[in-house]
C-alpha cells in the first residue's frame, strides 16, 4: 500500500490495495502483514482486517483472488498455503516467481492441478501505452526488424526482468544471446550483465546501470521507419517518424517533431485489476500468465548462468 498512500487517488494507482479497493468488480477483504505498524496503517486506510499470518487470514476469509506481494524467497511456500483455499480462482504473484527455477516450475504445476489461474505482475501487459506499442509493431506501423538499447538498474532480475519481459511481449521470445560483460554480482543470484539478445522480431542490447547513482530504466528501439523511446520506465513514450530531407536529395532523417503515445503508468495497477476482472469472467485478458513469466525467467537465468 505504501507506493501511493500519500498520493492523489484520482491520479495514482500504484498499489494492489488501492487498485482493488477502487475497482467496482472487486471487494478488498483483507491483508496479511507481519509488521504490526503496517497492519495498523492498512486497517486505518482501508477499513478492512489485516492479519499477522496467512494461516490466521485463511481461518477467517474465503477469497476468489489472492495477490502474493511478499519477498521472492517466500513465494513458493505461501503459494502452497494459498492453494488450500477451495474458493480460490486466481493468484497474482509479484515478479519473479522464485529465485529457483524448479520452484517456479512447480508453482505453475501446482496451480494447474488445483485449477487456479496464475498470473505475474508484469503490469505493462495491461497498460494502454505499452499495448499501443505492441499493436503498432504487430500491424507493421512500427516496421521491423527492430534494433534497440535497454538501460536497466537495480539488477537484471529485479528491475531488468520488467523490460526483458516487455521486449518478449513486443518482439516475441528470446532466440539467442551473447554475453558482453558479466557485470557485478548482486544478492539472491542477481547481477548486472551487459548482454545482446536476439528476439523473434528484432535484437537489443541490455546495459546495467548502477542504481545507487540514479534509477535508469529506458528503451530505445530503432525501426525501418522511425524511433521509439520508452523513457523513465514507460512514463513517457515517444514515436519519431522519418521524413525526406528538404535540401539533400535521397536522404531521410528523423523528423524534429515527435508523437507522444499516451502512457498511463501512473494508474498501472488499476489496469491489471481491470484485466483480472476480465479473466475471472472467463474472457481473454491482457495479463502476463505464469507460463509467459516462467519463459522470461528461464531465458534470463540462462544469461545469468553464462556469467560463470
What digits encode the pLDDT tens for the residues 160-173?
999 999 999 999 99
Report the number of distinct structural domains present in the chain: 2
Domain shared by 150 and 161, yes or no? yes
**Is 276 part of any domain?**
no
Where residue 252 falls among pLDDT bands split at 50, 70, 90? Answer: confident
Distance CA 53, CA 262 (A): 40
| Sign of the C-alpha dihedral computed for residues 158, 164, 170 and 175 taken in this order | negative
Q: Is the pLDDT of residue 253 over 80?
A: yes
Domain shared by 60 and 185, yes or no? no
Domain shared by 136 and 222, yes or no? yes
Domain shared by 299 and 248, yes or no? yes
Distance CA 134, CA 166 (A): 10
DSSP state of 73: G
**Is 216 part of any domain?**
yes
Residue 213: Cβ-neighbour burial (10 angstroms; 0-12, 13-18, 19+): exposed
Average pLDDT value for residue range 105-125 = 98
> Which of 123, 142, 170 is the last residue before a domain boundary?
123
Please answer whether residues 196 and 174 qualify as being in contact, where contact means their C-beta atoms are separated by less than 8 angstroms: no
Which candidate, 130, 104, 132, places its Cα nearest to that of 118? 104
Q: Which residue range forms the structural domain that includes residue 97?
A: 16-123
Domain shared by 179 and 248, yes or no? yes
Q: pLDDT tens digits for 7-17?
A: 999 999 999 99
**Is 281 part of any domain?**
no
Q: Give the CATH number of the domain where residue 85 resides.
A: 3.40.50.720
> Which of 67, 94, 123 is the last residue before a domain boundary?
123
Domain shared by 22 and 114, yes or no? yes
Q: pLDDT tens digits for 168-203?
A: 999 999 999 999 999 999 999 999 999 999 999 999
Distance CA 110, CA 206 (A): 33
Domain shared by 143 and 219, yes or no? yes
> Which of 94, 123, 152 is the last residue before a domain boundary?
123
Average pLDDT value for residue range 205-221 = 96
Domain shared by 133 and 119, yes or no? no
Residue 200 has a pLDDT of 97
Average pLDDT value for residue range 121-143 = 98
**Is 154 part of any domain?**
yes
Q: List, as one string, the DSSP characters of 125-192.
A: GT-HHHHHHHHHHHHTSS-SSEEEEEEEES-IIIIIHHHHHHHHHHH-SEEEEEEEE---B-GGG-B-
User: What whole-number percentage of the chain has pLDDT above 90?
Assistant: 93
Average pLDDT value for residue range 239-258 = 84
**Is 279 part of any domain?**
no
Domain shared by 136 and 27, yes or no? no
Domain shared by 90 and 219, yes or no? no
Domain shared by 82 and 139, yes or no? no
- HEC string of 37-56 equals HHHHHHHHHHCCCEECCHHH
Domain shared by 110 and 134, yes or no? no
**Is 206 part of any domain?**
yes
Q: List, as one string, the DSSP characters of 196-220.
A: EEEETTEEEEEEEE-TTT----EEE
Average pLDDT value for residue range 74-99 = 96
**Is 237 part of any domain?**
yes
Q: How far is CA 212 from the centre of its chain?
A: 22
**Is 35 part of any domain?**
yes
Average pLDDT value for residue range 82-98 = 95
Residue 80 has a pLDDT of 97
Q: Give the CATH number of the domain where residue 144 resides.
A: 3.30.360.10
Amino acid at each position: 500500500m505504501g507506493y501511493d498512500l500519500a498520493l492523489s487517488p484520482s491520479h495514482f494507482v500504484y498499489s494492489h490495495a488501492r487498485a482493488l479497493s477502487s475497482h467496482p468488480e472487486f471487494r478488498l477483504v483483507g491483508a496479511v502483514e507481519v509488521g504490526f505498524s503496517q497492519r495498523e496503517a492498512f486497517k486505518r486506510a482501508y477499513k478492512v482486517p489485516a492479519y499477522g499470518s496467512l494461516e490466521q487470514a485463511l481461518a477467517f476469509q474465503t477469497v476468489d483472488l489472492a495477490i502474493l506481494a511478499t519477498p521472492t524467497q517466500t513465494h513458493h511456500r505461501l503459494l502452497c498455503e494459498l492453494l488450500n483455499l477451495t474458493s480460490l480462482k486466481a493468484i497474482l504473484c509479484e515478479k519473479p516467481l522464485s529465485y529457483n527455477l524448479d520452484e517456479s516450475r512447480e508453482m505453475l504445476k501446482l496451480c494447474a492441478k488445483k485449477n487456479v489461474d496464475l498470473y505475474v505482475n508484469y503490469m505493462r501487459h495491461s497498460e494502454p501505452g505499452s499495448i499501443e506499442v505492441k499493436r503498432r509493431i504487430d500491424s507493421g506501423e512500427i516496421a521491423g526488424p527492430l534494433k534497440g538499447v535497454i538501460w536497466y538498474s537495480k539488477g537484471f532480475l529485479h528491475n531488468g526482468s520488467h523490460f526483458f519481459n516487455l521486449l518478449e511481449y513486443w518482439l516475441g521470445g528470446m532466440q539467442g544471446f551473447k554475453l558482453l560483460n558479466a557485470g557485478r554480482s548482486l544478492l539472491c543470484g542477481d547481477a548486472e550483465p551487459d548482454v545482446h539478445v536476439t528476439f523473434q522480431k528484432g535484437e537489443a542490447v541490455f546495459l546495467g546501470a548502477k542504481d545507487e547513482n540514479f534509477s535508469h530504466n529506458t528503451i530505445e528501439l530503432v525501426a525501418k521507419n522511425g524511433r521509439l523511446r520508452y523513457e523513465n520506465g514507460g512514463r513517457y513514450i515517444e514515436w519519431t517518424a522519418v521524413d525526406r530531407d528538404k535540401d539533400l536529395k535521397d536522404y531521410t532523417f528523423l523528423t524534429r517533431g515527435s508523437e507522444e503515445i499516451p502512457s498511463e503508468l501512473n494508474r498501472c495497477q488499476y489496469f491489471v485489476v481491470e484485466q483480472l476482472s476480465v479473466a475471472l469472467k472467463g474472457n481473454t485478458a491482457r495479463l502476463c500468465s505464469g507460463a509467459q513469466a516462467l519463459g522470461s525467467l528461464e531465458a534470463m537465468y540462462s544469461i545469468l548462468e553464462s556469467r560463470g
